[in-house]
């Protein structure tokens, strides 16, 4: 078995994604995306930096670049001596470490302000004291037993992509804190092709699972933006959603059984059930449990034959309102595609800024297309928005969807943009995640917020967030202009998910991570006040804990608190996320 170590992997140690990929400045304000993993890899982007400068009303200069801390501060490991001595007796020594780099990696997720900004440019005060790498469910049982004996705090760790500070050590935690890295639990235990189920260990990443299932002709269909890096256990613990949920479902629709090891034993169904009326269903408590109850070791998931046909498409609309009208009408039909995503004008222009500069015949073709769209069809470049579509299934299903969607789009005054633009727009999702770390070097902070909103409140939430951001930008005397854009990546019977992208220059601002964090918190208040939810798929963690009273009744929260107290009275799983963040 591979002895996985985060510091030896091909991932960035602290930033997002892989070491061979990312936006790199190559001079004269031209940016190139490195590596060969993505559609945009190798592309030179002369319009990317000018786009940012225009949107933020600033000038990006090399002299303003922040220097990442080379020798990162690492607080001393405070491992209980007797606990460590028992580890030495019970486990092989390559299953645990107090090495500083591993401890630092496992003490944060990918939240911008308190996690990434601090670890790159300042320091994190409190780190986990030891990292443990279980290789079997028996290892998990044993480490919990040893933790109980010595009153040690355990925090489960999957792919490290969490953005709600769920992986950070709680303030005032005085005990030894151990990060339980599950990524050596990465096997498929069995596949039942007739029943279309797979039993898989919880530490496998989505990408690796898909590669293994592809050899058998199957797939899960769950594709969050983080699919390359995030794990099955993490999907369950955060109640995740994927880009193709319309066809394959959200994670709670995909999982038929979860195995959780806790201080009191194991929580699971004896067998997976397609659907059962069995009274209380304890495993439902595990979706969104965020490491508070135990360690997810494996799950049984539904699998699908890989689609016979896949086709991309795109639609241009003259306004955001027309695009929303299309989505609402689409939600009432029987031909909703695997993925449909509407981006506003600012994100549409952002996508255009990531294109290479056209030359030769491509340049001529581009000018003709632009003339057709703007001059002949009457689309305003500063108002138009775009929709990307992914259709999967049999050839007949895809053909039917395409025909019906095109007809509906045209009835909503949309212009069909074609498969090339659709594929590019969909695939850009994976590369866009690298933008934050590139711009942060130039003292620009960016973050995302997602929420679930009913159809009737879409515009209320968008308007309120945009207005409040402008107000807060002035209040904190930030330079330039604030950036806010939004997209709808998921539609439901009663509403949608809105995904906001925020950004602003923090050049010359003292403690910018603290101020930006306050801005994000206030915007979340605004979202909830105007009918949005705490989160659609990122979870609560420690970042959004203050908003739970707006979502759950006091007795509902008390139910969870009492369950935690009865099941883990020593608070061995002391991550203190969500309801238990106090």
Catalytic residues: 499
Distance of alpha carbon 529 from alpha carbon 533, whole angstroms: 9
Q: Give DSSP secondary structure letters for 471-498.
A: HHHHHTT-SS--EEEEEEEEE-SSEEEE
Report the distance separating Cα 450 and Cα 472, nearest Å.
Answer: 19
Helices (H) and strands (E) in the chain, counts: 18, 21
CA distance linking residue 458 with residue 73, whole number of Å: 44
φ, ψ at 452 (rounded to 5°): -100, 130
Report the alpha-carbon distance of residue 44 to residue 358 in Å, rounded: 11
Q: Are strands 177-181 and 153-157 parallel, antiparallel or unpaired?
A: parallel
Distance CA 452, CA 442 (A): 32
Round to whole Å and give the CA distance between 243 and 241: 7
Distance CA 270, CA 281 (A): 12
Separation between Cα atoms, residue 225 and residue 65, nearest integer Å: 28
DSSP string, 138-176: HHHHHHHHHHHHHT-EEEEESSS--SSSTTSPPTT--S-
- DSSP 8-state assignment for residue 26: -
Give the residue carrying structure tokens 């241009």: 316
- Taking only Cα atoms into account, the Rg of the chain, rounded to an integer number of angstroms, comes to 24
End-to-end CA distance of the chain: 39
| Segments of 354-422 assigned E as strands | 385-393, 415-416
Task: Calculate ∠ Cα 2-238-556, nearest 5°.
Answer: 145
Give the bridge partners for 452, in sequence order.
497
∠102-103-106 over CA atoms, to 5°?
Answer: 85
Residue 271: burial class (beta carbons within 10 Å; 0-12, 13-18, 19+): exposed
Q: Compute the distance between CA of residue 57 and CA of residue 51 in angstroms, rounded to an integer.
A: 10
Tell the residue number behind the tokens 């986990």, with chain if given: 128
By the 8 A CB rule, do 450 and 497 touch? Answer: yes
Q: Give the angle subtended at the CA of 255 by the CAs of 296 and 161, to the nearest 5°.
A: 55
3-class DSSP assignment, residue 257: strand
> Smallest Cα–Cα separation from 49: which of 64, 37, 38, 39?
64
Cα gap 111→166, rounded to integer Å: 9
Alpha-carbon distance 123 to 120, whole Å?
7
């Amino acid at each position: 078995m591979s002895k996985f170590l985060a510091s030896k992997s091909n991932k960035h140690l602290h930033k997002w994604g892989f070491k061979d990929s990312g936006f790199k400045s190559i001079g004269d304000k031209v940016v190139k995306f490195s590596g060969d993993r993505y559609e945009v890899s190798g592309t030179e982007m002369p319009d990317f930096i000018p786009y940012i400068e225009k949107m933020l009303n600033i000038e990006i200069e090399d002299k303003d670049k922040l220097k990442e801390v080379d020798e990162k501060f690492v607080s001393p490991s405070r491992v209980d001596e007797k606990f460590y001595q028992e580890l030495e007796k019970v486990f092989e020594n390559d299953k645990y470490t107090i090495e500083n780099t591993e401890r630092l990696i496992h003490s944060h997720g990918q939240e911008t302000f308190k996690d990434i900004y601090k670890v790159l440019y300042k320091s994190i005060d409190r780190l986990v004291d030891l990292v443990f790498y279980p290789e079997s469910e028996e290892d998990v049982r044993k480490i919990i037993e040893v933790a109980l004996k010595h009153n040690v705090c355990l925090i489960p760790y999957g792919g490290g992509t969490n953005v709600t500070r769920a992986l950070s050590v709680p303030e005032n935690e005085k005990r030894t804190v151990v990060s339980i890295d599950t990524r050596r639990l990465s096997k498929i235990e069995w596949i039942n092709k007739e029943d279309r189920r797979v039993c898989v260990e919880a530490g496998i990443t989505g990408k690796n699972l898909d590669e293994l299932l592809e050899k058998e002709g199957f797939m899960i269909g769950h594709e969050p933006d983080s699919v390359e890096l995030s794990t099955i256990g993490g999907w369950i613990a955060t109640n995740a959603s994927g880009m193709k949920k319309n066809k394959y479902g959200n994670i709670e629709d995909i999982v038929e059984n979860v195995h959780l090891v806790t201080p009191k034993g194991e929580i699971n169904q004896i067998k997976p059930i397609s659907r059962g009326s069995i009274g209380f269903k304890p495993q439902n408590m595990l979706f969104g449990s965020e490491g508070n109850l135990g360690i997810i070791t494996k799950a049984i998931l539904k699998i699908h034959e890989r689609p016979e046909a896949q086709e991309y498409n795109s639609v241009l609309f003259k306004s955001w309102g027309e695009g929303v009208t299309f989505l609402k009408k689409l939600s009432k039909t029987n031909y909703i595609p695997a993925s449909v995503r509407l981006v506003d004008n600012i994100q549409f222009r952002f996508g255009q800024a990531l294109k290479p500069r056209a030359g030769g015949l491509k340049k001529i073709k581009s000018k003709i297309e632009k003339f057709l769209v703007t001059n002949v069809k009457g689309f305003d470049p500063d108002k138009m928005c775009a929709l990307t579509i992914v259709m999967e299934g049999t050839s007949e299903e895809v053909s039917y969807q395409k025909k019906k969607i095109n007809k509906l789009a045209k009835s909503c005054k949309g212009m069909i943009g074609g498969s090339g633009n659709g594929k590019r727009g969909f695939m850009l999702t994976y590369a866009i995640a690298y933008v934050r770390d590139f711009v942060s070097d130039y003292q620009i902070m960016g973050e995302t917020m997602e929420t679930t909103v009913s159809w009737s409140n879409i515009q209320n939430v968008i308007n309120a967030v945009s207005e409040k951001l402008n107000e807060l930008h002035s209040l904190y005397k930030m330079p330039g202009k604030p950036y806010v854009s939004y997209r709808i990546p998921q539609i439901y019977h009663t509403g949608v998910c809105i995904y906001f992208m925020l950004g602003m220059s923090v050049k010359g601002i003292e403690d910018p991570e603290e101020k930006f964090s306050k801005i994000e918190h206030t915007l979340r208040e605004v979202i909830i006040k105007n009918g949005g939810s705490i989160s659609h798929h990122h979870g609560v963690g420690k970042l959004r804990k203050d908003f739970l009273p707006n979502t759950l009744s006091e007795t509902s929260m008390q139910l969870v608190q009492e369950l935690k107290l009865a099941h883990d009275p020593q608070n061995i799983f002391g991550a203190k996320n969500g309801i238990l963040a106090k």
